[in-house]
Structure 1
Amino acid sequence: MREVIATGALPLLAEEATTLTADLPLTSVTLEIPIPAPEKIICVGVNYPSRNEEYKDGQDAPANPSLFIRFPRSFTGHATAATTARK
Structure 2
Amino acid sequence: MCQRDRSCGNAENQAAEDQRPGPVENAEGAEAGRLFLEQMIVHHQGAIEMAQTEVEDGANEAAIKMADTIASSQSSEVQTMQDLLAGM
TM-score if structure 2 supplies the norm length?
A: 0.28
Kindly name which structure, 1 or 2, has the bigger radius of gyration based on alpha carbons: 1
Structure having the higher helix fraction is 2
TM-score if structure 1 supplies the norm length?
A: 0.28
Structure having the higher strand fraction is 1
